Amino acid sequence: MADQQTDQQPLYEARRSIFPRSVKGRFRNIKWAILAFAYGVYFLLPWMRWERAAAPDQAVLFDLVGRKFYLFGLTVYPQDIFWLAGFLMLAAYLLFFVTGIAGRVFCGYFCFQTLWTDVFVLVERLVQGERPARIRLAKQPMNGEKILKLGLTHLLWLLVAFATGLSFVLYWGNAPDLIVDYFTGKAPFAAYGTTLFLTATTYVMAGHAREQVCTYMCPYSRFQSVMFDKDTLVVSYDSKRGEGSAGRAKLGKGLKSREERQAAGAGDCIDCGYCVQVCPTGIDIRNGLQIQCISCALCIDACDAIMDSLGWERGLVAYTSERQAEEGRRARLLRPKVLGYFIVLLVIVAALAWNVSHQQLFDLSVAQERLPLYVTLSDGRIQNSYEFKMNNKTGGPLELEFEVVGLEGAELDLGNFSHVELAPDQRLRLRAHIKYDPEAAESGSQPFRIRAVPVNRSDLQPFEKDAVFSWPGGN
Amino acid sequence: MSENTQQQQSGAVQTTGHAWDGDLQEFNNPLPRWWVWTFYATVIFSLVYWVIFPTWPYANTYTKGIGNTITFKNDQGEEVTTHWNTRALLIEDMQNGEEALKQKAYLEKVNAASYEEILSDPDMMAFTESTAKVLFADNCAACHGPGAALPASAFGLYPNLADDAWLWGGKLEDIEETLIKGRNGYMPAFGSALSEEQLDQVASYVLSLSMDGIDAQKVAAGKEIFNGQAGGCHYCHTKEATGLESQGAANLTDAIWTVANVPSAPTTEAKLVAVKKVIRDGINRVMPGWSGRLSDDEIKQLAIYVHQRGGGK
């Protein structure tokens, strides 16, 4: 018997289409503003120009072939990879910090899945109409109108998806050149491949998968519950007020004014369903906090609109905390966890800022040759050999001369390169011999410094690097 | 047995409807259907993969994949087309890859340049250092050591290339000639031509050229033999004892000892013994010519590399 029952239940669940109704309100306005800003940055940033002496004049350019990232006035070299670690830590702790205070703010307002889904729903609404019209269209049999409207929707979706993919590609090359190459078929395969991939993912994720991404694919939505506590802000329904003693009730005969309803024990929720209709993940906030909820706050806007029209006070659905709901006290902002996240954030920001502002504009490394560590020369002096590696990150040409500091009477032999010129971004390896007479010195080695003097730049300090000179007799 | 008490509340998780022991129920969270489609998509992907790439073993061979071949040049310079495999992919990439072509272009630039041009261009020098390092390790390091110098325990076996003493000349042209033709470093044994006392005297003279505190009488006698007919050392080592490069004869006046292990002999007596041994037994060291094994371009790169080790002339 039980088996029969099981057999009737589907093993897999088809996605139930969600047709979010549009809503106007505070949070919707904030979301529109964030969306406009995010899209503005994403689509326009590759076109922003920035004067550079020896590189494309693109403000933000990730030059993989040249192994350099240009971010406005900053040039990031492979050696600066630690900044990426710092940036990722910053992003992670910012997420923890914000989530600790206000829950899934990232999900509801900033996540690209939310932003792009918002745009795709907007397209859907502009083409097919408001929620009832869309539901009707979905239900009606295939005909000319349906083909036209659905076709137009999908075409526009694909256009947005393509623009998204193309814009991403433009960050990796000089946009004005790349776009010409792109449409004349001369761009590298990676450009077309990336566009195709991102167009496909954008179209599928924002057009078709939508809330499935948040519910089933996103790891963040699953682990953020550990960052929640009693004081974390969540979107919730005031069930005491909404349900009253006899539950929610529609506006009906004898249940029109607030006084009538309170007399009848009915709550303030008129069960209009607006909060459910606007929800992009298709849940009913009145059932409490659910994993699908991305805290977009559109249900707050919906309920506020209804309450305003009834002339009742807002806040039946609102941002609140568990503590406020249970104890009636305001959420505490200064909690050990939040403060801890904040302090870590400050440390990361400070370390990153210090490191970025103290970027070495010139890299010099001095590696002593180990095999042989030293040789005796015909005049009795000892010779050590070194490899100098340098990288000019000053943005301009650099003329260098080298000196030995702290090794009295030593001779530095750089062959023809005692004076070298480095073009901007040029890397160079030089082989240096140092000849020195250690005389009666007992220990077998002496530390000294190699100094590179930028002779054409009076504004730059000489660069120094520690090295060691070795001779027989030591350890 | 389970009873069927389907509990269905709005918003609550569905159960399978089974209940054991009265209240023990089983949640039913059905997987999204697209998840299954994704699985089917991977199945289709693997089917396509099976066709294109080598996949299935059968008998003593395997499926080779269709329409997916790699063409490269083998060691004999013949064009070979093979089914897709990572080994051929690597060979092909080493021959025609972006970096390989870049390297090739650079190599051509270095090959076309003169020694003087290369020595004055830091980029070409760095490039030559890198390519010749491999050549040196493959061909030269077996005798001369990986750093162009041997450890003290192998003193005198093969010349040290990291110091500034050049038996056969330290100019690039000299080094190139050494590499092409090879060298035979020969010094006759004087064990039968000179008496033990004469050997002692010559050794004293030779040692006195680079250190103090040697018996002056012996030195004077040794100089006589060195520059006279009895020893005839000056024919190759010159009267000043600075050595003839054309003969590969060592400069005996500098601080460098190439065969006699003077540096590690603790006392003057021991140093004399070391020098005497070389005079008595002579030297016969051979370096083969490399023109048969290395191309002119490779010899050129190696000449620069060797020249750079100790700082050539």
The torsion defined by the Cα of B224, B225, B227 and B229, in degrees rounded to 10, comes to 120
Query: What pLDDT score was predicted for residue B300?
Result: 96
Residue A12 lies in a domain: no
| B305: closest chain A residue by CA | A431
Of chain A residues 60-99, which have a CB less than 8 A from chain B?
none
Residue A284 lies in a domain: yes
Residue A415 has pLDDT above 70, yes or no: yes
Tell me the pLDDT band of A220, cut-offs 50, 70 and 90.
confident
Tell me the pLDDT band of A78, cut-offs 50, 70 and 90.
confident
Tell me the pLDDT band of A9, cut-offs 50, 70 and 90.
low
Q: Considering A212, A227, A242, which residue would you say is the last residue of a domain? A: A227
Query: What pLDDT score was predicted for residue B5?
Result: 40
Same domain, A40 and A166: yes
Give the nearest partner residue to B32 out of A212, A378, A385, using CB atoms: A212
How buried is residue B142: exposed, middle or buried, by Cβ count under 10 Å (0-12/13-18/19+)? exposed
Same domain, A433 and A464: yes
Give the CA count within 13 Å in the CB-facing half-sphere of A111.
21
Query: What pLDDT score was predicted for residue B1?
Result: 41
Contacts A416 to B, Cβ<8 Å: 119-120
Nearest to A265 by CA among A278, A291, A247, A250: A247
Average pLDDT over chain A, rounded to whole?
91
Domain count, chain A: 3
Residue B29 has pLDDT above 90, yes or no: no
Question: Complex ipTM above 0.85?
Answer: no
Q: Does A383 touch chain B (CB under 8 A)?
A: yes
- Of the residues A13, A15, A437, the best mutation for testing chain B's interface (the one with the most B CB atoms within 10 Å of its CB) is A13
Same domain, A259 and A180: no
Residue A306 lies in a domain: yes
> What number of other Cβ atoms are within 10 A of residue B36's Cβ?
12
CATH number, domain containing residue A447: 2.60.40.10
Residue A206 lies in a domain: yes
Residue B282 has pLDDT above 90, yes or no: yes
Q: Which residue did the predictor score with more confidence, B3 or A59?
A: A59
Please give the angle made by the CA atoms of A298, A236 and A278, to the nearest 5 degrees.
Answer: 25
| Rounded distance between C-alpha atoms, residue A284 and residue A289, angstroms | 9
Q: Does A160 touch chain B (CB under 8 A)?
A: no
- Mean pLDDT score, A174-189: 95
Q: Which long-range contacts (CB under 8 A, 24 or more apart) does B280-283 make?
A: B280/B189, B280/B190, B280/B191, B280/B194, B280/B199, B281/B189, B281/B191, B282/B186, B282/B187, B282/B188, B282/B189, B282/B190, B282/B191, B283/B185, B283/B186, B283/B187, B283/B259
The torsion defined by the Cα of A63, A69, A74 and A78, in degrees rounded to 10, comes to -130
Tell me the pLDDT band of A440, cut-offs 50, 70 and 90.
low
Question: Could you tell me the residue range of the domain that residue A239 belongs to?
Answer: 234-327
Q: Considering A300, A327, A354, which residue would you say is the last residue of a domain? A: A327
Residue A344 lies in a domain: no
Residue whose structure tokens are 């007596």? B269
Query: What pLDDT score was predicted for residue A441?
Result: 66
The domain segmentation of chain B, as residue ranges, is 3-30, 34-96, 111-182+288-310, 185-286
Residue A444 has pLDDT above 60, yes or no: yes
When mean pLDDT is compared across A160-164, A294-298, A438-442, A467-471, the lowest value belongs to: A438-442
Q: Tell me if A20 sits within 8 A of A117, measured CB to CB.
A: no
- B135-174 confidence digits (pLDDT tens): 999 999 999 998 899 888 888 889 999 999 999 999 999 9
Amino acid B313 reads K
CB distance A372–B162 less than 8 Å? yes
Same domain, A182 and A87: yes
- Mean pLDDT score, A416-430: 90
Query: What pLDDT score was predicted for residue B257?
Result: 92
Residue A62 has pLDDT above 90, yes or no: yes
- Mean pLDDT score, B271-290: 95
Query: What pLDDT score was predicted for residue A14?
Result: 86
- A136-180 confidence digits (pLDDT tens): 999 999 999 999 999 999 999 999 999 999 999 999 999 999 999
- Mean pLDDT score, A197-203: 97
How far does Cα B12 stand from its chain's mean position? Answer: 71
Q: Which residue did the predictor score with more confidence, A377 or B28?
A: A377
- Mean pLDDT score, B215-242: 94
B111-182+288-310 and B185-286 have identical folds = yes
Residue B96 has pLDDT above 50, yes or no: yes
Q: Considering A166, A201, A227, which residue would you say is the last residue of a domain? A: A227
Residue A3 has pLDDT above 80, yes or no: no
Query: What pLDDT score was predicted for residue B12?
Result: 60
- The token pair at B69 is 């071949």
- Mean pLDDT score, A112-137: 96
Per DSSP bridges, beta strands B31-32 and A12-13 are parallel
When mean pLDDT is compared across A1-5, A57-61, A442-446, B276-280, the lowest value belongs to: A1-5
Average pLDDT over chain B, rounded to whole?
90
Q: Which residue did the predictor score with more confidence, A444 or B43?
A: B43
Same domain, A74 and A139: yes
CB distance B256–A378 less than 8 Å? yes
Residue B10 has pLDDT above 90, yes or no: no
Same domain, A150 and A288: no
Same domain, A432 and A406: yes
Residue A336 lies in a domain: no
- The token pair at A193 is 């491949």
Residue A345 lies in a domain: no
| Rounded distance between C-alpha atoms, residue A298 and residue A283, angstroms | 12
For the four alpha carbons of B201, B203, B206 and B211, in that order, the dihedral sign comes to negative
- B175-226 confidence digits (pLDDT tens): 999 999 999 999 999 999 999 999 999 999 999 999 888 999 999 999 999 9
Find the DSSP H helices in A311-335.
Answer: 322-327
Q: Which residue did the predictor score with more confidence, B65 or A2?
A: B65
Q: Give the minimum alpha-carbon distance from B311 to chain A in angstroms, rounded to a whole number.
A: 7
Element (H, E) at A420: strand A419-422
Please give the angle made by the CA atoms of A201, A203 and A208, to the nearest 5 degrees.
Answer: 105
Residue B313 has pLDDT above 80, yes or no: no
CB distance B310–A429 less than 8 Å? no
Same domain, A182 and A247: no
Q: What is this structure's pTM?
A: 0.78
- Mean pLDDT score, A113-129: 96
CB distance A370–B147 less than 8 Å? yes
Tell me the pLDDT band of A1, cut-offs 50, 70 and 90.
very low
Residue by residue, DSSP assigns chain B as --EE-----TTSPPEEEEEETTTEEEE--PEEHHHHHHHHHHHHHHHHHHHHS---EETTEE---SS-EEEEE-TTS-EEEEES-HHHHHHHHHHHSHHHHHHHHHHHHHHHS-HHHHHT-HHHHHHHHHHHHHHHHHHTHHHH-TTSS--GGGTTSS--SSSS--TT--SHHHHHHHHHH-EEEEE---TTTS-HHHHHHHHHHHHHTT-S---HHHHHHHHHHHHSTTT-THHHH-TTS---GGGTPPPSSSS--SSS--TT--SHHHHHHHHHHHHHH-EEEEE---TTTS-HHHHHHHHHHHHHHHT--
Give the nearest partner residue to B255 out of A378, A429, A430, using CB atoms: A378
CB distance A429–B17 less than 8 Å? no
Residue A201 has pLDDT above 50, yes or no: yes
CB distance B129–A430 less than 8 Å? no
Q: Which residue did the predictor score with more confidence, B243 or A327?
A: B243
Contacts B35 to A, Cβ<8 Å: 12, 216
Tell me the pLDDT band of B31, cut-offs 50, 70 and 90.
confident
Same domain, A219 and A244: no
- The token pair at B217 is 């009488």
Please give the CATH architecture assigned to the domain spanning B111-182+288-310.
Orthogonal Bundle (1.10)
Residue A13 lies in a domain: no
Fold classification of B185-286 is Cytochrome Bc1 Complex; Chain D, domain 2 (1.10.760)
| Rounded distance between C-alpha atoms, residue A410 and residue A435, angstroms | 6
- The token pair at B94 is 């080493």
CB distance B145–A209 less than 8 Å? no
Radius of gyration of chain B (CA): 37
Tell me how far CA of residue B159 lies from CA of A205, A381, B137, B148, B156, in angstroms.
70, 18, 16, 9, 7
Contacts of residue B285, defined as CB under 8 A and 6 or more positions apart, other chains included, come to B158, B159, B183, B184, B185, B186
Contacts B13 to A, Cβ<8 Å: none
